[in-house]
Amino acid sequence: MIKIAVCGAAGRMGGRIIAAINETEGVELSGALDRPGHPMVGQDAGYNAGLGAIGVPISDDLNAVVAGCDVLIDFTTPKVSLKNLEVCALHKKAIVIGSTGFTPEERALAAELAREIPAVIAPNMSVGVNVCFKVLADVAKILGEDFDVEIVEAHHKMKKDSPSGTAVRMGEVVANALGRDYNKVANFHREGICGERTHEEIGMQTIRGGDIVGEHTVYFIGMGERVELTHRAHTRDMFSRGSVRAAKWVATAKPGVWDMQDVLGLR
Ligand SMILES: NC(=O)c1ccc[n+]([C@@H]2O[C@H](COP(=O)([O-])OP(=O)(O)OC[C@H]3O[C@@H](n4cnc5c(N)ncnc54)[C@H](O)[C@@H]3O)[C@@H](O)[C@H]2O)c1
Ligand SMILES: O=C(O)C1=N[C@H](C(=O)O)CCC1
C-alpha cells in the first residue's frame, strides 16, 4: 500500500485528490496539509472531499506529515511547492507537484532540489491534455512556418496565475517544434497601435470568469484556412486521478524531475 499525503488539502484540487485516493486501489491517505491558520486545519480531511469523516485531520505540520508518507501530492503555489520539495528531499520522499505559475528561475531551483528524489512536476495531469502536448509538436512541424500560432485559455475567476501552466507548456511545445525560444516569442499583450503581428510570435490570450474548469485552444492560422486544437475540462476529477496515477508511478521512479509524458508512457 502506497501512503500518500496531500498538501493543499483544503483547496479545490486537494478535496478532489483525497476523493481520488479513496477510490484507487493500492494507495491510502496518510496525511493532509494546509497552511497554518487555515480555518480547516484540525478538521477531518474527508469533508472537503465529500466523503464525511475518514479519520485523517488536516494538519499544518509539514515535517510530520512528510515523514509519515511515501509520496506527497502538492497542489498549492510555486513558493509552497519549492518548500515542500526541500522537505521531501530531506526525508527522501517522492513528490508530485501540480502547482502552476513557476518562473524559469523557480523551475531551475525545483530541478536542483529534486536531484536526489523522484519528482513529477506537471502543469496538467489529464490524459487528454498530455495527448494534446504530444500531437501539438507534430502539428506545428507539419504546418510549419506558413501558419501563425495563437493560444487562448479560459479558467475560473479564482485562478491566480496567468497564462495557465498548460498554456505555457503548449507554447513551449510549439516553440520548440518550430525552433523558436518561447521566452522570446511569447506575446502576452496587444493594445492600441501595436503594429502588425510578427511572423515568429506566439500570442498568449487569457480569459477569466465564473467557474470554468479549464479550456485551451491552440490556433494555427494560415491564409485561407486554420486548424484549432481544443481541450475542454468538464471536471477537476481527471486532474486528481492523474495526480494519483503519477503518485503510484513516482513511488518507484529514479530521482530527478519527470512529468506526465513519462507517467503516461508518451515520451
Ligand atoms: N497540474 C494540474 O493538473 C492542475 C489542475 C488544477 C489546478 N492546478 C494548479 O494547482 C494549484 C492549486 O489549485 P486550486 O484550484 O486547488 O487552488 P486553491 O486555492 O483552491 O487551493 C490551494 C490550497 O493550498 C493551500 N496552501 C496555501 N499555502 C499553503 C502552505 N504554506 N501549506 C499548505 N497549504 C497551503 C491553500 O490554503 C489552499 O487550500 C494552482 O497552482 C493550479 O493552477 C494544477
Ligand atoms: O484550475 C486551475 O488553476 C488549473 N490550472 C492548471 C493550469 O494552470 O494549467 C490546469 C488546469 C486547471
User: What pLDDT, in 10s, does the model give residues 110-163?
Assistant: 999 999 999 999 999 999 999 999 999 999 999 999 999 999 999 999 999 999
Residue 35 beta carbon below 6 angstroms from any ligand 1 atom: yes
Helix H or strand E encompassing 198 = none
**Distance between CA atoms of residues 20 and 31, nearest Å:** 14
Among 13, 155, 236, name the best residue to mutate to test ligand 2's pocket (greatest count of ligand atoms within 8 A of Cβ).
155
Catalytic residue among 93, 159, 216, 231: 159
**ipTM for this prediction:** 0.99
How large is the greatest C-alpha to C-alpha distance in the chain, in angstroms?
60
Cα of 97 vs centre of ligand 1, distance in Å, is 10
Phi, psi of 200 (to 5 degrees): -85, -20
**Distance between CA atoms of residues 200 and 99, nearest Å:** 29
Q: What is the mean pLDDT of the chain?
A: 98
Residue 65 beta carbon below 6 angstroms from any ligand 1 atom: no
Which residues are CB-contacts of 254 (< 8 A; sequence separation ≥ 6)? 118
**Distance between CA atoms of residues 253 and 216, nearest Å:** 30
**Distance between CA atoms of residues 42 and 32, nearest Å:** 10
155 is catalytic: yes
Cα of 38 vs centre of ligand 1, distance in Å, is 13
Q: Which residue's CA is the closest to the ligand 2 atom numbered 11?
A: 214
pLDDT score, position 149? 98
Measured on CA atoms in the order 41, 42, 43, 49, is the torsion positive or negative?
positive
Q: What is the pLDDT of residues 181-206, one digit of tens each?
A: 999 999 999 999 999 999 999 999 99
**All three cell numbers of 156:** 475560473
Burial of 39 (0-12, 13-18, 19+ CB in 10 A): exposed
Q: Which residue's CA is the closest to the ligand 2 atom numbered 5?
A: 164
Q: What distances in angstroms separate CA 158 from CA 34, 154, 240, one per listed residue?
A: 18, 12, 18
**Contact of 161 with 101, CB cutoff 8 Å:** yes
Record the pTM: 0.98
Domains and CATH numbers, the chain: 2-125+236-263 (3.40.50.720), 127-232 (3.30.360.10)
| Strands 148-155 and 186-187, bridge-based pairing | unpaired
